[in-house]
Amino acid sequence: MKNVSMLALAVCTAGTLFAAEVGDSFLLHTKNTTLALCRQQGSWNVLHYGAKVSSQSDAFALAWNRWAGGNSVSQRRPAAYAAYGGDKDGGYGFNKFGGLQVTHADGCLTLHLVGEKAETLPDETGVTHLVLVQRDRFYPFWVVQHFRALEKCDVIETWIELRNGEDGAVRLGRMDSFAMGFPLIANAFRFQYVTGQWAAEAQLRETSIERGQTVSIGSRSGVRDAWENNASFMLTAGETSSETSGRVFGGVLCWSGSWGISVQRDHCDFVEIRAGADTSAGAYVLDAGKSITLPKFAFTFSSKGKGQISRNIHRWARDWQLPAGSKLRPVLLNSWEGSYFSFTEKVLHDMMDGVKEMGGELFVLDDGWFGTGKYARDDVHKDKVGLGDWVINPEKLPNGLVGLSDEAKARGLKFGFWVEPEMVNTNSWLYEAHPEWVIREKNRPVNVGRGGSQTVLDYSNPAVRQNTYNQLDALYSKILDLAYIKWDANADFYNMGSTYLDAAHQANLPFDYTVGLYDLLAKLRAKYPQVDIQACSSGGGHVDFGFLRYADEFWGSDDSDARERVFIQWGESQFYPACTIAAHVTDVPNHQTHRTTPLKYRFDVAMSARLGFELHPKNMSAEDVAFAKKCVADYKRIRPTVQQGDLYRLVSPYDNNYAALMYVNEEATHAVVFLWGLARGNWSDFVPPLALQGLADDKSYAVKEINVAKGRKHCRVDGRILGGSALGSMGLPVRLSGDYDSAVFELTAK
Ligand code: GLA
């Protein structure tokens, strides 16, 4: 028990001077919500989370205080942080579901948390930062639970620090960041999430949670954490919710490794929500005297439906989570679909000419520029070789990345390039020198993925991270105006083991890998703050708010078909703001689906997010280039509203053969409406007027259709000035005809 006093001291010192002690109850407010907490029988419980409650005594009086459970054996406490173990000394109430399970140094399997101290910490940003220091009633093991209430966006961030003051290591069988219990709050629940696969990410699904059920989503990929399910969800409390109605809880786990989220509605309608890092590889071993900080979980509530949940999290992302959330994202051209592995300097220079002509701002060189000798990633070897060797292939690019960035600069473009830092090919100089640096099992061959030779580096090992850092640093530092990195990751953990970790700590690998990845990202971001990062992982595999602490945007899918992107971006928009969603105009027939859609349609879809190109401009006709030029110029004008404004999803593609959404700037003086037809049942199907949202009732707006192709307009009131309230109640009259017709309208307050 030697570390006890030291740990207790550490717990107390943060904010000793200004921290304010909290009594036995506390209301944590944001603009429209309240989390009401209360210490009962020594432990911190939740009285309420939802719409605002302003008095502690009201919260106490109205809370469901019989807890849930028809008989006291199954009764559960609405814990602020539910752990596996006893809730009451010598009484009933053993929570066998809690999100934290600790096996103590002496083998004891349970926790019994009591509130040791509660205080609010000073926060220079004006945020309320509440800290609940909880300790096991017997063991020197601390759970320090943090809450930061972010007023304007109605989001509460929470995270957990675990401190082991025991004489030996403890094992964490479950280590959730959020494990909150709610007593009876509704008699119906619905769980919305997104799921998918390669080139079909973020498909929206919703299921009811019946009494006695637990609904879970998760990823055990280790790397492509968002490829299948995304670490985010909405929970409707009550029969139903829509974009504009219903009581909805929304949460996101900020983690790029394996994870799990579950909502349990037990046999007595008690609800426990859990979210955290996955421990299916085995219990995490936390050594004596050590602490660990678990990933952040951010949550919000609205009694006005799912749209408000999205807007809250979008605002939170821009204001608090993204590295530079208020910076406008550039219009770029990425070389991948335009040339794949087949390029020369001349091909790339021609592409740059095309970007410049269309008004683009950044050129990004994708895969295929690196590797030397027998491991050169050329047109013959393609993706079979070279990952891990981040040096230029001089055969392909004699003037290197520096030469290319100079060429970009000469055309007034910024420059960026692709890299896949977490990966290595077994066909590489790096692997030849360090076969022990990959994730692998001691006595088994290494399993590989893409190209028959790709596998994952062991980032729990600081030497491996340092090697990547040194290689990237050498590249970054030579390119003076480097503006952008596309950070790809095209594999999962195909193996599970580390030559760096000792036998006792093998199961720490998944968690320590992600912590190591963040360490590398943080170092690069700190040294090169001006270099934006795109998170890519075989498309949408790294779409998570853990990565987006370091990355500015993500490549949402390798499927660039505009019609499919309507769905994918719809799913991603549930939690991720438009400034983070990279959407590229590509060639037709589309390379993934072989579908041909009009250029206008492709622009109309891509312009609803972060617009870019992924094609060779020389394959475009002069007429198409002229149209593109006009679209890019218009995009630059609407960009602040699209990338920084509030999103209103108007018509879902899941319920109709068309879809519509709009963005409104904060002052409600500018709005942009997007309307996309899907495959139409009948060319003349009528689209009802679009009831616009988010406009000011007392303002009038000039309606202007933009991206007009071949003189075809889609609205009979184009050019008129109309009242915000009428546009909301009567709606904007619009027309679509045939497959893949679309329209974009700009509304400007007069
Ligand atoms: C992944 C990415 C693509 C592209 C290729 C390059 O599939 O998702 O966008 O960068 O790798 O190999």
Q: Whose CA is nearest to atom 1 of ligand 1?
A: 538
Atom of ligand 1 nearest to the CA of 536: 8
Is the minimum distance from the CB of 488 to ligand 1 under 6 angstroms?
yes
The average confidence (pLDDT) of the chain is 94
Say yes or no: CB of residue 336 within 6 Å of ligand 1.
yes
In tens, the pLDDT along 220-264 reads 999 999 999 999 999 999 989 999 999 999 999 999 999 999 999
Q: How many CA atoms lie within 13 A of 519 on its CB side?
A: 17
Nearest partner of 579 among 338, 409, 327, judged by Cα: 327
Q: What is the pLDDT of residues 695-743, one digit of tens each?
A: 999 999 999 999 999 999 999 999 999 999 999 999 999 999 888 999 9
Alpha carbon of 538 to ligand 1 centroid (Å): 6
Tokens encoding 299: 């949550």
Q: What DSSP designation does 321 have?
A: I
Res 582: pLDDT: 98
Give percent of the chain above pLDDT 70.
95
Q: Is the shortest distance between the CB of 558 and ligand 1 below 6 Å?
A: yes
- Cβ neighbourhood burial of 42 (10 Å; 0-12, 13-18, 19+): middle
Q: Which residues of 86-108 are buried (b: 16+ CB within 10 A; e: fewer)?
A: bbeeeeebbbebbbbbbbbbeee
Q: Whose C-alpha lies nearest to ligand 1, atom 8?
A: 538
445 has a pLDDT exceeding 60 = yes
**CATH 2.70.98.60 correct for 4-321:** yes
For ligand 1, say whether the CB of 334 is within 6 Å of any of its atoms: no
Does residue 537 have its Cβ closer than 6 Å to ligand 1?
A: no
Q: Determine the distance separating the centroid of ligand 1 and the alpha carbon of 539, expressed in angstroms.
A: 7
Q: How many residues does the chain have?
A: 750
In angstroms and rounded to an integer, the radius of gyration of the C-alpha atoms of the chain is: 27
Residue 681 has pLDDT above 90, yes or no: no
Q: Of all protein residues, whose CA lies closest to atom 4 belonging to ligand 1?
A: 336
Confidence of residue 41 (pLDDT cuts 50, 70, 90): confident
Of 536, 553, 559, 568, the one to substitute when testing ligand 1's pocket (max ligand atoms within 8 A of C-beta) is 536
Give strand ranges (E) for 210-258.
213-219, 232-237, 248-253
Whether residue 544 has its Cβ less than 6 Å from ligand 1: no
Q: Is the pLDDT of residue 504 over 50?
A: yes
Q: What is the pLDDT of residue 5?
A: 37
State how far the Cα of 107 lies from the Cα of 302, in Å rounded to an integer: 43
Amino acid code (one letter) for 360: G
Q: What is the DSSP letter of 318?
A: I
Does residue 688 have a pLDDT over 70? yes
Instruction: Answer whether 227 contacts ligand 1 (Cβ < 6 A).
Output: no
Q: What is the pLDDT of residue 734?
A: 97
Name the closest-CA residue to atom 6, ligand 1.
367
CA distance 679 to 665: 31
**Of 292, 5, 42, whose CA–CA distance to 165 is shortest?**
5
Residue 12 has pLDDT above 80, yes or no: no
Confidence of residue 3 (pLDDT cuts 50, 70, 90): very low
CA of 511 relative to ligand 1 center, distance in Å: 25
Determine whether the shortest distance from the Cβ of 392 to ligand 1 is under 6 A: no
Reply yes or no on whether the pLDDT at 568 is more than 70. yes
Cα 536 to ligand 1 centre (Å): 8
592 close to ligand 1 (CB < 6 Angstrom)? no
Examine the pLDDT at 6 and tell me if it is beyond 70.
Answer: no
What pLDDT score was predicted for residue 96? 86
Rounded to two decimals, the pTM is 0.96
CB environment 623-653: b (16+ within 10 A), e (fewer)? ebeebbebbbebbeebbbbbbbbbbbbbbbb
CATH of 332-644, one of 3.20.20.70, 3.40.50.300, 3.30.70.1140, 3.40.50.620: 3.20.20.70
Q: What mean pLDDT comes out for the span 370-378?
A: 96
Distances in Å between the Cα of 77 and the Cα atoms of 42, 108, 411, 723 are 12, 21, 64, 52
Instruction: Say whether pLDDT at 16 is over 70.
Output: no
Task: State which of 383, 387, 558, 614 you would mutate to test the pocket of ligand 1, scoring each by most atoms of that ligand within 8 A of its C-beta.
Answer: 558
Which residues are within 8 A (CB) of 380 and not within 5 positions of it... i.e. 6 or more apart? none
Strand, helix or coil at 636?
Answer: helix
pLDDT tens digits, one per residue of 42-76: 999 999 999 999 999 999 999 887 666 556 556 77
The distance of Cα 169 from the centroid of its chain, to the nearest Å, equals: 33
What is d(CA 737, CA 658) in angstroms, rounded to the nearest whole number? 11
**Any ligand 1 atom below 6 A from CB of 420:** no
CA 631 – CA 708 distance, rounded (Å)? 9
**pLDDT confidence of residue 72:** 58
The residue whose CA is least distant from atom 12 of ligand 1 is 367
Residue 536 Cβ inside 6 Å of ligand 1? The answer reads: yes
- pLDDT of 334 reads 98
- Cα of 676 from ligand 1 centre, angstroms: 27
Rounded percentage of the chain residues whose pLDDT exceeds 90: 90
Quickly state the pLDDT bin for 14 (edges 50, 70, 90). very low
What is the topology classification, in CATH, of domain 648-749?
Immunoglobulin-like (2.60.40)
> Is it the case that residue 482 has pLDDT exceeding 70?
yes
Q: What is the pLDDT of residues 18-37, one digit of tens each?
A: 799 999 999 999 999 999 99
What are the tens digits of pLDDT across the range 608-662? 999 999 999 999 999 999 999 999 999 999 999 999 999 999 999 999 999 999 9
Q: Residue 361: CB within 6 Å of ligand 1?
A: no
- Domain ranges for the chain: 4-321, 332-644, 648-749
CA-to-CA separations, 355 to 361, 415, 556, 629, in angstroms, rounded? 7, 12, 22, 10
Q: How far is the CA of 333 from the centre of ligand 1 (A)?
A: 14
pLDDT for res 13:
44
Residue 91 is predicted with a pLDDT of 62
User: How confident is the model over 427-454, as a mean pLDDT?
Assistant: 98
Question: Is the minimum distance from the CB of 338 to ligand 1 under 6 angstroms?
Answer: no
Residue 173 reports pLDDT greater than 80? yes
The CA 559 to ligand 1 mean position distance, Å, reads: 11
Residue 1 in this model has a pLDDT that exceeds 80: no
